[in-house]
Chains A and B, each alone.
Chain A
Amino acid sequence: MAKTLFDKVWDDHVVTTLEGGTAVLYIDRHLIHEVTSPQAFDGLRSRGVSVFRTDRTVATADHNVPTIGQHLPIQEPLSRFQVEKLVENCKESGIALFGLGHPHQGIVHVIGPELGITLPGMTIVCGDSHTSTHGAFGSIAFGIGTSQVEQVFASQCLLQVKPRQMRICVEGKLRQGVGAKDLILYIISRLTASGGTGYFVEYTGSAFRDLSMEGRMTICNMSIEMGAKGGLIAPDEKTFAYIQGRKYAPKGPDFDHYLAYWKSLYTDNGALFDAEHTFLAEDIPPMVTYGTNPGMGIGVQEIIPAPTPGENRQSFDKALAYMGFSPGESLLGKTIQHVFIGSCTNSRMEDLRAVARYVEGKQKAAHVTAMIVPGSKQVEEQARKEGLDQLFLAAGFEFREPGCSACLGMNEDKIPTGEYCVSTSNRNFEGRQGPGARTILASPLMAAAAAIHGKITDVSFD
């Protein structure tokens, strides 16, 4: 029978199936961080059970770390305690930790791929919803809760019901100034923030094939923002070239052995999906969000729509009141106060290089604070090597140390109440970047342009 890519990877990991259809799914990689793991370690201790497979578990500190002075003790006592707890727990359990001060430290979804820990055909989980990022390699990757973190610690397995499958096909060439972030924001704006709920998505078509691995990570990263359990893209020559030579990737004959398997990972002709959507790359403009969920997005030249008849009026009005916007209004030319370039969505070298090319020789608007937070220590080092840090500083941008930072405002990097932030992160929820903060999601290029002009600008005319 014709199988989808998802079917192939899923079937390869089913240990056994229970009556009623629930599968015991084997997990190849378990990524952990300081925020969603301490209660799982405690749970394990209270059961008198130890971590079953430390050689499939990797830890880093990212959510709650400062992005200035990482060589110093963390000032905020609760954050420090949480990060110290991770260090203790990893030491006690024998789990490899790329913590603060380690040259491999960084956002969990940035370091997995860059270290060759993420490979095609794997099952990958992490107590973080953006685990879907790793689907860019043709793996089944999804976020889990802390009880499930404990389950994976205890058994290297999860009890899972197989999700339905959706295919999203985008053919054609993206326009000048339009990138992976615009592509995924466009898709979510069409399918809504809940359009993917209950599904695992496969992205197909030339628009995705033409993207770099980093661009594909941006796409898969935001699968969760339409409610999907995850998203994946079939591995190809770009994927294999990206993996080859990475620190923990298979080497030599091992690599060739895996390569043969990876090449079998594609959707067979005639395989069936439960839902299909098709879009044209040429239709996609530079995108911005105007509301408080990632589905509330428009092309930068469009106006904020009125609520559709099926939409809950109370939720729509609440979102627009929070943002200080009205239907019929355009975001073009809107004054903004902050720019955040970072997060597991857009903090990789390609993002930083695109921003650098744009801001080189320019100066940010005086009233804007602009912060660039690299996704990992390796990204930070590479940017310094290429002189991007100096270029950012000359343009008036801050260049910080790696972490999740203002994407979720757990550390000090918060946006003040009522102020606007053009952010390359993944969520524009109320208060996400700090209580009362107003987030406008956009691509790194759109964010860079907003910083320079001090207002929302269309990069395709810039």
Chain B
Amino acid sequence: MEKFTVLRSTAVPLPIEDVDTDQIIPARFLKATTREGFGDNLFRDWRFHSNGTPKQDFVLNNPLFSGQILIAGRNFGCGSSREHAAWALADYGFRAVVSSFFADIFKGNALNNGLLPVTVPAPFLDHLFQALEKDPSSSVQIDLEAQTVQCIDSKETVSFEMDPFKKLCLLHGYDDIDFLLSRRETILAFERGRHYPFNP
């Protein structure tokens, strides 16, 4: 997994609430058996007409906005557990999503793919939306070590919470499996005497 330390980038605003993973990547694109290439269909039905031409009013088709940070309305990533949603965002080029809160499964999936979900207070989220509306070239800085997000134009900064284990993983590029494999003995000891084997 790619390390995450400090990210300073322009940002893309998506002030819609309850963005579900069916919008991020519709089910008909889940037939792939690898992790690559989902970025092309990110927000497919919001981004393109059925004939494949771009919808001009969708933010990803607006040349004024670009960058590695997506700023989104509350409850981002709700619905299906498909990790393809996190893969699609990362494959498109996003490295962080900022929102006032995330759906649980999406948050976990994002963290497992080096895509940082940053939860900020609602007023700060509004502040970011306003800053981007005023100046689409505004930058945002996310410092994982310090657990802070800053709106570069206004210098307004907030801190965000982060699970200490996941923080360590992201800073160093480890993943959960490396860790769990290192605990094999502990798991074997726990298993002894446990019930519920299944032998069809």
- Pair B50/A435 contact, Cβ less than 8 Å: yes
- Pair A227/B75 contact, Cβ less than 8 Å: yes
Residues of B within 8 A of A143 (CB): 81, 105
- Pair B179/A159 contact, Cβ less than 8 Å: yes
Residues of A within 8 A of B105 (CB): 129, 142-145
Whether A410 is near chain B, meaning CB under 8 Å from some CB there, is: yes
Whether A267 is near chain B, meaning CB under 8 Å from some CB there, is: no
A-B contact count (CB 8 A): 204
Task: Select the stretch in A12-20, A326-334, A364-372 that faces chain B.
Answer: A12-20
Partner of B79, one of A49, A79, A129, A248: A129
Partner of B22, one of A57, A156, A432: A432
Whether B26 is near chain A, meaning CB under 8 Å from some CB there, is: yes
- Pair A148/B108 contact, Cβ less than 8 Å: yes
Task: Select the stretch in A35-43, A390-398, A454-462 that faces chain B.
Answer: A35-43
- Pair A417/B180 contact, Cβ less than 8 Å: no
Residues of B within 8 A of A227 (CB): 75, 78, 103-104
Known contacts A24-B187, A64-B31: A430-B164 contact under CB 8 Å: no
Whether A122 is near chain B, meaning CB under 8 Å from some CB there, is: yes
Interface string of A399-427 (1 = CB under 8 A from B): 00000000011100000010000000001
Partner of A161, one of B15, B86, B163, B184: B163
Whether B8 is near chain A, meaning CB under 8 Å from some CB there, is: no
Chain A, 298-354, CB within 8 A of any chain B CB:
312, 314-315, 318
Whether A244 is near chain B, meaning CB under 8 Å from some CB there, is: no
Interface centre among B31, B80, B197, by most A CB within 10 Å?
B31
- Pair A145/B108 contact, Cβ less than 8 Å: yes
Interface string of B25-58 (1 = CB under 8 A from A): 0111011111100000000010000100000000
Provide the bound-state CA to CA distance between A143 and B199, in Å. 23
Chain B, 153-199, CB within 8 A of any chain A CB:
163-165, 175-177, 179-181, 183-184, 186-187, 190-191, 194-199
Provide the bound-state CA to CA distance between A431 and B22, in Å. 8
- Pair B31/A82 contact, Cβ less than 8 Å: yes
Known contacts A145-B112, A430-B45: A28-B196 contact under CB 8 Å: yes
Provide the bound-state CA to CA distance between A41 and B50, in Å. 33
Known contacts A24-B180, A47-B177, A227-B104: A18-B165 contact under CB 8 Å: yes
Query: Chain B contact residues (Cβ within 8 angstroms of A): what range?
Result: 35 or more
- Pair B101/A39 contact, Cβ less than 8 Å: no
- Pair A79/B180 contact, Cβ less than 8 Å: no
Residues of B within 8 A of A431 (CB): 22-23, 26, 45
Provide the bound-state CA to CA distance between A57 and B199, in Å. 10
Whether A55 is near chain B, meaning CB under 8 Å from some CB there, is: yes
Interface string of A104-130 (1 = CB under 8 A from B): 000000000000010100100001110
Partner of B86, one of A35, A85, A145, A155: A145
- Pair B164/A20 contact, Cβ less than 8 Å: yes
Partner of A315, one of B27, B73, B84, B179: B73
Partner of B16, one of A18, A161, A193, A315: A315
Whether B17 is near chain A, meaning CB under 8 Å from some CB there, is: yes
- Pair B104/A58 contact, Cβ less than 8 Å: no
Known contacts A194-B78, A312-B17, A318-B16: A39-B200 contact under CB 8 Å: no
Known contacts A22-B165, A227-B103: A151-B31 contact under CB 8 Å: no
Residues of A within 8 A of B113 (CB): 147
Known contacts A315-B16, A409-B27: A122-B45 contact under CB 8 Å: no
Whether B18 is near chain A, meaning CB under 8 Å from some CB there, is: yes
Chain A minimum-CB-distance residue to B34 = A39
Known contacts A35-B30, A315-B73: A154-B198 contact under CB 8 Å: no
- Pair A410/B103 contact, Cβ less than 8 Å: no
Interface string of B109-140 (1 = CB under 8 A from A): 10011000000000000000000000000000
Whether B95 is near chain A, meaning CB under 8 Å from some CB there, is: no
- Pair B198/A55 contact, Cβ less than 8 Å: yes
Whether B20 is near chain A, meaning CB under 8 Å from some CB there, is: yes
Provide the bound-state CA to CA distance between A79 and B32, in Å. 9
Whether A429 is near chain B, meaning CB under 8 Å from some CB there, is: yes
Interface centre among B74, B83, B109, B194, by most A CB within 10 Å?
B83
Known contacts A82-B33, A156-B187: A197-B103 contact under CB 8 Å: yes
- Pair A36/B82 contact, Cβ less than 8 Å: yes
- Pair A159/B196 contact, Cβ less than 8 Å: no
Chain B minimum-CB-distance residue to A316 = B17
Provide the bound-state CA to CA distance between A224 and B78, in Å. 9
- Pair B186/A429 contact, Cβ less than 8 Å: no
Partner of B191, one of A26, A197, A258: A26
Residues of B within 8 A of A436 (CB): 45, 50
Provide the bound-state CA to CA distance between A410 and B25, in Å. 12
Chain A, 33-84, CB within 8 A of any chain B CB:
35-36, 38-39, 42-43, 47, 49, 55-58, 63-64, 78-79, 81-82
Whether A157 is near chain B, meaning CB under 8 Å from some CB there, is: yes
Residues of B within 8 A of A167 (CB): none
Provide the bound-state CA to CA distance between A55 and B198, in Å. 5
- Distance to closest chain B CB from A82 (angstroms): 5
Residues of A within 8 A of B50 (CB): 417, 435-436
Interface string of A92-108 (1 = CB under 8 A from B): 00001000000000000
Whether A146 is near chain B, meaning CB under 8 Å from some CB there, is: yes
Interface string of A252-263 (1 = CB under 8 A from B): 000000100000
Closest 10 CB pairs of A and B: A20-B164, A145-B83, A145-B109, A147-B112, A155-B180, A38-B33, A78-B31, A143-B81, A194-B75, A129-B81
Given contacts A81-B31, A295-B18, A431-B45, 20 further A-B contacts (CB under 8 A): A38-B34, A39-B35, A56-B197, A56-B198, A64-B30, A128-B81, A147-B177, A155-B181, A157-B180, A193-B18, A193-B75, A194-B101, A194-B103, A227-B78, A293-B18, A293-B20, A318-B16, A410-B27, A429-B23, A431-B22
The contact sample of 8 A-B pairs, CB cut-off 8 A, is A20-B164, A20-B165, A22-B163, A47-B181, A145-B108, A193-B18, A430-B22, A436-B45
